[in-house]
Structure 1
């Protein structure tokens, strides 16, 4: 079973769950894709129990209730965005641009790549612009990596990420059915990217933005975590020269979080308020030593 999960978990999530959802949506079953989302969440938690990357990351760090609230709020934001899509496309889209006659799967792949670029750029900007970092810092306060971390974000930052990924697609006239498929793919990808599953994807780890590469994004030292910004792929990171990976690196909770803010608020309401407080500002009084070389120039305001 452990071997099956190690090599079969990612294909199951990406191909079986996403594929089934895309097939349902292409045939007009717009609401049934939510079943795929529930199956993805259940599969994520089951795989983490059978083949954890770290056993202690399966235990609550006084964060389970908080993360469930983040997930519920941010998924509601996502679903609300999709529900508003017909109105937005009617107002803002450019007629005749979206390739409606292309195969549905190809349309979904186009949406994934466009959204991936927008989200990558917002994440990159959030590590460079202090005003954005205030909100992105909520996501970087985690002390363990597991499935629900992907939705552990300040709702305002979630809204900014979503807008950056979807706005170009709205201008292109993104169909609602493709938007639902994209929402499912995003949810599955967030589960995979932050998963506490010790899976393997071989050379694809340098192309797909999965947990092996994304853990480097959560390293707590300034500059060291300014890497691997992509949601779906690492293509844009290679082009932006923000890709980093060390196959020998192993992670613990001591490597995660923010070196400058080791006591970042842990409660849900406190995290919503923190970006608006003076204490939510960027700081530079942090340790300069770390266990990794400086892989990229420039420092994140961690």
Structure 2
């Protein structure tokens, strides 16, 4: 199943997508044949067991314990990995972490799905894998930009203060969660701006173009957003100066939380949804109706949303599985199409206008 392309009315952009993007389109086709099709066929073997699990005590136990157990294990694995020499510069380690999480998340999504409509998504997985590789490159490019923009001098200037600011005397686990919480404060405001500013929304729309949520597509982001985020986070990280070990363990934790944020696993999260930005919190965030979807901006924690009035959760209600960009149903789903879509004039990306209109309809 091919990904949706730009409408033919977008003459020049359509030519770029189809012809200049031909190598990427070919990779998508090969990815569908070599990766998506066999993986879906293998996971379908779990469907019979999935129906048998419905209403059982085992599923109930898993749905209540999976998230906290995964957090504890991720913290332990993170510290063990650093003891074995893993670091934030270990490309192999950073690439392996999502793969390991995927090995347990993908089967669980099939066994305990929030929505069976999200179990398969055409060829979206190939684009998500390509985005994962692309984002690694653009993060590296952002580090180069930081040097060019003289932010390295700022980092060096702030470094002496950072060592006195960071509470190294606290237990390691507390330092990790504190680091994520502070980082998430900056992520919250950037994410909120990406939604509330019409120009920035054009780039963030790439992330919201997905038609389903599953364990991998949390990484789908436009390169412009990836670069801006890396640059904006440079100064506060330099000021805080936590140890490399704490940062590495935090990456383990962020990835594990991120898996549950986008996963199609139906969990009973209880009070955890009032601490972390996971489960139904993020499903509301992906609503096509921006009058509802402009909420729950936290990357890992939900506490900043609660504090600043953007938390949305309806007691006793489960969110719909209808997600996407309500104002742009023709948004392209190919890799090349998503790269060029923010620069098109007639895409209906005006988040403020759309939000006002949908609030009236709601």
**Larger fraction in helix:** 2
Structure 2 counterpart of 1:277: 344
- Residue 55 of structure 1 pairs with residue 116 of structure 2: yes
Structure 1 counterpart of 2:13: none
Structure 1 counterpart of 2:199: 131
Structure 1 counterpart of 2:127: 66
Alignment equivalent of 1:205, drawn from 273, 294, 302: 273
Name structure 1 gaps, 5 residues minimum: 294-302
Give me the whole-angstrom Cα distance separating, in 2, the residues matched to 1:237 and 1:47: 29
Give me the whole-angstrom Cα distance separating, in 2, the residues matched to 1:166 and 1:19: 27
Structure 1 counterpart of 2:257: 189
Contact 1:218 1:257 in 2 (8 A): yes
CA RMSD for the aligned pairs? 3.1
Structure 2 counterpart of 1:119: 187
Structure 1 residue 83: Cα displacement: 11
Deviates further, 278-287 or 231-240: 278-287
SS in 2 for 1:251: coil
SS in 1 for 2:267: coil
Give me the whole-angstrom Cα distance separating, in 2, the residues matched to 1:281 and 1:54: 28
> Where does 1:87-126 land on structure 2 (aligned, <5 Å)?
88=152, 91-95=156-160, 96-97=163-164, 98-126=166-194
Larger Rg: 2
Structure 1 residue 107: Cα displacement: 2.3
Structure 1 residues 76 and 52, CA, compared in 2 at 3 Å: closer, same or farther? farther
> Where does 1:1-302 land on structure 2 (aligned, <5 Å)?
1-25=58-82, 28-30=85-87, 31=90, 34=94, 36-77=97-138, 88=152, 91-95=156-160, 96-97=163-164, 98-246=166-314, 247-252=316-321, 255-280=322-347, 282-283=349-350, 284=353, 288=357
Scaled by the length of structure 1, what TM-score is found? Answer: 0.84
Structure 1 residue 269: Cα displacement: 1.1
Deviates further, 27-36 or 184-193: 27-36
Structure 1 residue 168: Cα displacement: 0.7
Structure 1 residues 188 and 82, CA, compared in 2 at 3 Å: closer, same or farther? farther
Name structure 2 gaps, 5 residues minimum: 1-57
Give me the whole-angstrom Cα distance separating, in 2, the residues matched to 1:277 and 1:222: 21
Aligned residues: 291
Contact 1:111 1:169 in 2 (8 A): no
Give me the whole-angstrom Cα distance separating, in 1, the residues matched to 2:251 and 2:137: 11
Give me the whole-angstrom Cα distance separating, in 1, the residues matched to 2:360 and 2:239: 44
Contact 2:155 2:234 in 1 (8 A): no
Structure 1 residue 52: Cα displacement: 0.8
Give me the whole-angstrom Cα distance separating, in 1, the residues matched to 2:98 and 2:239: 27
* 1:234-257 deviation line (CA, Å, top 9, x unaligned): 1100111000112313312xx311
Deviates further, 276-285 or 50-59: 276-285
Give me the whole-angstrom Cα distance separating, in 1, the residues matched to 2:303 and 2:345: 36
